[in-house]
Amino acid sequence: MDFDPSPTQRALLDALGTLLSRSAGTDRSRELAERGAYDHVLEAVLRRDGFLDLFASEDAGPLEATLAVELIAAELGAVTPVPHLLVLPALGLEQPAGPVVASLDGPAGPVRYGAEATQLLLADGDRCVVAELDPAAAEPVPSAYGYPLARVVPAWHRELAAGTAGTLVNWWRVGASAEAVGMMRRALDLTVAYTKDRTVFRRSLGSFQALQHRLAELSVLVEGARWLVYEAAFNGAPAEASAVAAAHTMTALGRLTRETHQIMGAIGLTTEHDLHLWTLRLQAQRAELGGGQGPRRAAADARWAAAS
């Protein structure tokens, strides 16, 4: 066992970090969100530099791809890293240009970047369906939760081999959880930094033990989520591990959101402050996985079905 990033992983994340510091981040994210736009430029750069190929590459793999997904989300990259870096390669499919969306549970509700999406992955029983989308037919849906949403209209579709739905759902759970982990960590870091800078009652806000304990508890949650996600990715997204990672992460993000906003005070409740760029998107991620309940049920099903 070795929980430290390898030199390869470290180099990869450094390179990706550098790329994202130029092509993503809060300002870029605000500007794109204003227009409800997907970041085609970022996607092209990620593709050019090989980050979309990590999953199946020789010197990297699914875990590295998952680490990359986490970092892209933390830096608010306005792309769809979960399908591009994890799900499509896991299914052995080509990665089209532009956003790819999914519906894990019945007909597609509003999905992120749906207005520009060209492909929909749909889990239907144990079948997986790939549908082409007509962006012109998509119906944008207003949302306050960071991502531009739209209902999509599938044009024609093809079915993949039986049993592939599990691959879609499991990797999507791992990927969305990796995104959430990256975003939770960023929200927490921002809050911790704020408590060091802010003075109340002639002391730093972070010097109050009541807050120290709460911040510490949040770090436990995020770390737990992080290792569950990495482990699931490392093991190839088995059903139970993926569901457990998602169940824990989707529960953790509720508490993390509440606490970071609370500890930040009024400033964090304004749209001028950056905290909401992560926390609102976190709620959207949970909704995308069918709320906190979906993964919890799946985790229990996977466990008890396996035991029987």
Partner 1 sequence: MDFGFTREEESFRDEVLGFLDGYRDLDGYFHRGADTADGVRRVYRALGDRGWLSLSWPVEFGGGGRSPAYEFILWDEMAYARVARPPMGPGLVAKALMSHGTGEQRDRFLADLRRGRTGFCLGYSEPDAGSDLAAVRTKARRDGDEYVVDGAKCWTSNAHWSDHIWLLCRTGAPDSRSRGLSVLIVPLSTPGVTVSPIPTLDGGRLNEVRFDGARVPAANRVGPENEGWQVVGSALAVERHVQFPPKRLRRDLHDLLDDLEAAGVHRDPVVRRRLQDLAVRVAEVEALALALLGEVISGEPAAVPAAYHKLAGTVLAQDIARTGMELGTARALVKGTDTEFLWRQSILETIGGGTSEVLRGLIARQEFGLRA
Ligand X SMILES: Cc1cc2nc3c(=O)[nH]c(=O)nc-3n(C[C@H](O)[C@H](O)[C@H](O)COP(=O)(O)OP(=O)(O)OC[C@H]3O[C@@H](n4cnc5c(N)ncnc54)[C@H](O)[C@@H]3O)c2cc1C
Residues at the site binding ligand X, with contacts judged by CB under 6 A: 198, 200-201, 205, 208, 210-211, 262-263, 265-266, 269
Please identify, using beta-carbon distances, which residue of 209 and 308 lies nearer to partner 1.
209
List of residues 6+ apart from 258 with CB closer than 8 A: none
144 binds, among partner 1, ligand X, none (CB under 5 to 8 A by kind): partner 1
Is there binding between residue 210 and partner 1 (CB under 8 A)?
yes
142 binds, among partner 1, ligand X, none (CB under 5 to 8 A by kind): partner 1
Distances (CA, A) of 198 to 9, 191, 261, 263: 35, 10, 14, 11
Please identify, using beta-carbon distances, which residue of 6 and 293 lies nearer to partner 1.
293
List of residues 6+ apart from 210 with CB closer than 8 A: none
Counting beta carbons within 10 angstroms of the beta carbon of residue 109, is it exposed (0 to 12), middle (13 to 18) or buried (19 or more)? Answer: middle
Q: Which of 162, 269, 305, 306 binds partner 1 (CB under 8 A)?
A: 269
199 binds, among partner 1, ligand X, none (CB under 5 to 8 A by kind): partner 1
Please identify, using beta-carbon distances, which residue of 210 and 307 lies nearer to ligand X.
210
Pairing of strands 149-151, 154-159: unpaired
Q: Which of 128, 25, 73, 28 is nearest to 285 (CA)?
A: 73
Of residues 142-181, those binding partner 1 (CB under 8 A)? 142-145, 149
Pairing of strands 149-151, 111-112: antiparallel
8 binds, among ligand X, partner 1, none (CB under 5 to 8 A by kind): none
Note whether 206 and 196 are within 8 A (CB): yes
Q: Which of 118, 114, 110 is nearest to 157 (CA)?
A: 118
Please identify, using beta-carbon distances, which residue of 28 and 276 lies nearer to partner 1.
276
Q: Which of 105, 124, 132, 231 binds partner 1 (CB under 8 A)?
A: 105
71 vs 76: CA distance, rounded Å: 9
Please identify, using beta-carbon distances, which residue of 47 and 273 lies nearer to ligand X.
273
CB of 113 to partner 1, least distance (A): 13
Binding-site ranges for partner 1 (CB under 8 A): 105, 109-111, 141-145, 149, 199-202, 210-211, 254, 258, 261-262, 265-266, 269-272, 276, 280, 283-284, 286-288, 290-293
